[in-house]
Each structure stands twice: as C-alpha cells, then as structure tokens.
Amino acid sequence: MRCAILLLISCLSVFAAKKTLDVYFIDVEGGQATLFVSPSGQSMLVDTGWPGMNARDALRIIAAAKKADVKKIDYVVISHHHADHVGGAKQLAERIPVGMFIDKGPSVETTAQAKELAQMYEEARAKSQHRVVKPGDTIPVKGLDIKVVTADGQMIAAPANAPQTPSCAGVQKDKEDLSDNARSLGVIVQYGKFKLADLGDLTWNKELELVCPANRLGTVDVYLTTHHGLAASNTPPIVTALKPRVAIMNNGARKGGMPAAWKIIKASPGLEDIWQIHFSVAGGTETNAPDTFIANLEEQNDQGHYIHLAANQDGSFTVTNSRNKYTKTYPAK
Ligand SMILES: [Zn+2]
Ligand SMILES: [Zn+2]
C-alpha cells in the first residue's frame, strides 16, 4: 500500500512538471524585454526596457515573472547599451534577484547619455555575477540550448555545410552604422526542434554579414523582429534565410513597425503570421496585422498587454495575446 501511494505521488509530480519553453514578449513600448522560462524552471531575460517612469518596465517584467512562477531571474542578457534595452536594469535588480548579467562588453558610444547608462548598469550589477560573451558562447540555461551568434560586431563562422542565401543578390549595403546597435548581442534559443532568433537591434550590414552569401544561422520557427521592426534592420536576406513561421514585432505605437520592414517580413516565404506588441501608427490600415494578433491597440493609456508563446520539444508552439486571450497553435512540421 505504501509503495502504491509513493508511486501515485511520483506519477502526479511527473504530470505536474512543466514541459514547455515559455516566452513572454513584454510590452515596453518600443524597447525590448523578453523573458524565457525553461522547463527546468531556470530563466533568461533579454533586455530590461526603459528607465524612469516609476519603474514601469521593471514592474511589467516582474508581473510576467510572477505569472511564470519565476522568483529569481537566472540570466539577464543585455543585447546592447541603449536606453530602451539596458535602461530598466537597475530598477529591475532592486526588485527581483538576478543571478548573472551577461553582455557583449561596454558601449562603443561616448555621449553623456551612454556614460549615464553605463554607470546605472554598473550599479544594477552590484549584487549579481557578470560575464562578457563572444559569438559561439552558450548561455547555460538548464533545459535549453542558447547560442550567442553575434556580439560586439563579431559573428559565428559559417558551418561547413551552410547553404547560400539566394536573396542576397543585388541587396545593397547601407552606410556604416557606428552606433551600439551594430554591436548587438544576438542569440538563437533552441528547445528540442523549436528555434527562435533574437538579434537585438542589429542593423542592415551586420544582418547581411550573418547570412550572405552563406547562411550562418540556419532557419528558425520564430523571429523576434530586429530593432522593433525599423527599416534600418530586417534586410530581406536575413528574413528569408531565417525563414520563420511566425514573426513577433516588439514595436511601440510610434517606434518600429515601419511599413518597409513589415512588408519584407510579410513577404517572407513560409511566414504564417505576424504578431505585434502594438498597433503601428505608421502602418495604418495597410501594414498592421489584424487586431486579433496585436496586444495593444491604443496609443494612449497603454495597458501593457504582452504576447505569450509556449513551445514544445517537437517544434510545435502556441501563441497567445494577453489582451483578448486569442490563441493559435502552430503544429509541428
Ligand atoms: Zn531598441
Ligand atoms: Zn538600440
């Protein structure tokens, strides 16, 4: 009898174990804050949103962490040192324990704002470990494979069998981007057969280098639109090389979500849907997803609705809009 009870308890705990990679695309209104929660319970946050505003973005991140039952963020990855990415770091670290901050090294910018952000970021790290990573390094979240593919302007080498990207032909380079965007730390997050790309605010020329002529990244299921869906990023070759089924656009009402980028993503072969954190004012009626797929519709009085994704090891995944609870499952291929 006692054995039977023990067996029952162990069965129940197996059933209760989390089986999905959960991703929360948090609304920081034209910045980035993306929380990944592994089936192991370990977590990684990419970027911390904006500073100020009574810790609005840090509080939104903590609200998402609570939903995911995350009491400590194991890794906070800072893609680059702009205010909409690193800005919320100190306010966040004051409110929830952070195991380790990971970045690509300091900003290349020397403005007063860059110095102020660097100071704040140093204070944010006071109680946490800190590590600088390079392309090819992994971020050791238990249960996931997370590879750094670009950092500080460098990138991983192309694998020997890397396919050529046909859409590279005729695509012109942009003028050199000397900002910290071009130094963004980018990752590919993999859980079983499921893959997601997050390249921070990487810009045009560096995107081209990643996939032209050889595709160093392979394909993914989900593409977090680079640089909020701004037209200085999301070059056609990177989108078609990654060949996502779903794009998630971390735009604000008046930042990112630009028609030129939206059209490139929409036209990508194999794309099933674009989901957006915000309705894009610039997109108007032509280049926005249907309302159902948009987490925040109004420009004023933003409610901070997020998009949630739950991925399975077989590559299938479900996306949910927290505003209207609309949910769509993408079966394994
Ligand atoms: Zn940004
Ligand atoms: Zn930036």
d(CA 283, CA 18): 38
d(CA 45, CA 75): 6
161 domain residue, yes or no: yes
Q: Please report the pLDDT score of residue 18 as a whole number.
A: 83
8 domain residue, yes or no: no
> What digits encode the pLDDT tens for the residues 56-69?
999 999 999 999 99
323 domain residue, yes or no: yes
Maximal CA-CA distance, the chain:
74
Q: Please report the pLDDT score of residue 15 as a whole number.
A: 53
Task: Give the pLDDT band (50/70/90) at residue 192.
Answer: very high
Task: Give the pLDDT band (50/70/90) at residue 256.
Answer: very high
Task: Give the pLDDT band (50/70/90) at residue 104.
Answer: very high
Range of the domain at 182: 20-330
Task: Give the pLDDT band (50/70/90) at residue 137.
Answer: very high
Task: Give the pLDDT band (50/70/90) at residue 172.
Answer: very high
Residue 124 belongs to domain with CATH number: 3.60.15.10
Read off the tokens for 211.
Answer: 């996939």
Task: Give the pLDDT band (50/70/90) at residue 8.
Answer: low
11 domain residue, yes or no: no
pLDDT at residue 11 above 60?
Answer: no
pLDDT at residue 326 above 80?
Answer: yes
Residues in the chain, how many? 333
Residue 11 Cα to ligand 1 middle (Å): 45
Residue 32 Cα to ligand 1 middle (Å): 7
Residue 118 Cα to ligand 1 middle (Å): 16
Task: Give the pLDDT band (50/70/90) at residue 17.
Answer: confident
Residues 6+ apart with CB under 8 A from 221: 194, 195, 196, 244, 245, 246, 311, 315, 317, 330
d(CA 123, CA 142): 27
Q: Please report the pLDDT score of residue 13 as a whole number.
A: 54
Residue 230 Cα to ligand 1 middle (Å): 9
Question: Mean pLDDT, to the nearest integer, of 315-320?
Answer: 98
Q: Are 174 and 205 in contact (CB under 8 A)?
A: yes
Q: Please report the pLDDT score of residue 5 as a whole number.
A: 55
Residue 179 Cα to ligand 2 middle (Å): 8
Q: Please report the pLDDT score of residue 4 as a whole number.
A: 57
d(CA 85, CA 79): 7
Residue 57 Cα to ligand 1 middle (Å): 14
Residue 282 Cα to ligand 2 middle (Å): 19
Residue 332 Cα to ligand 2 middle (Å): 34
Task: Give the pLDDT band (50/70/90) at residue 2.
Answer: low
Residue 145 Cα to ligand 1 middle (Å): 25
Residue 281 Cα to ligand 2 middle (Å): 20
Q: Which ligand number lies closest to the CA of residue 49?
A: 1
Question: Mean pLDDT, to the nearest integer, of 18-39?
Answer: 97
> What digits encode the pLDDT tens for the residues 70-99?
999 999 999 999 999 999 999 999 999 999
pTM equals 0.95
Q: Structural domain tally of the chain?
A: 1
Task: Give the pLDDT band (50/70/90) at residue 301.
Answer: confident
Q: Which ligand number lies closest to the CA of residue 203?
A: 2
Q: Are 332 and 210 in contact (CB under 8 A)?
A: no
130 domain residue, yes or no: yes
15 domain residue, yes or no: no
Residue 2 Cα to ligand 1 middle (Å): 57
5 domain residue, yes or no: no
Task: Round the average pLDDT of the chain to a whole number and report it.
Answer: 95
4 domain residue, yes or no: no
pLDDT at residue 14 above 80?
Answer: no
Q: Please report the pLDDT score of residue 189 as a whole number.
A: 99
Alpha carbon distance, N-terminus to C-terminus of the chain: 45
Residues 6+ apart with CB under 8 A from 176: 182, 205
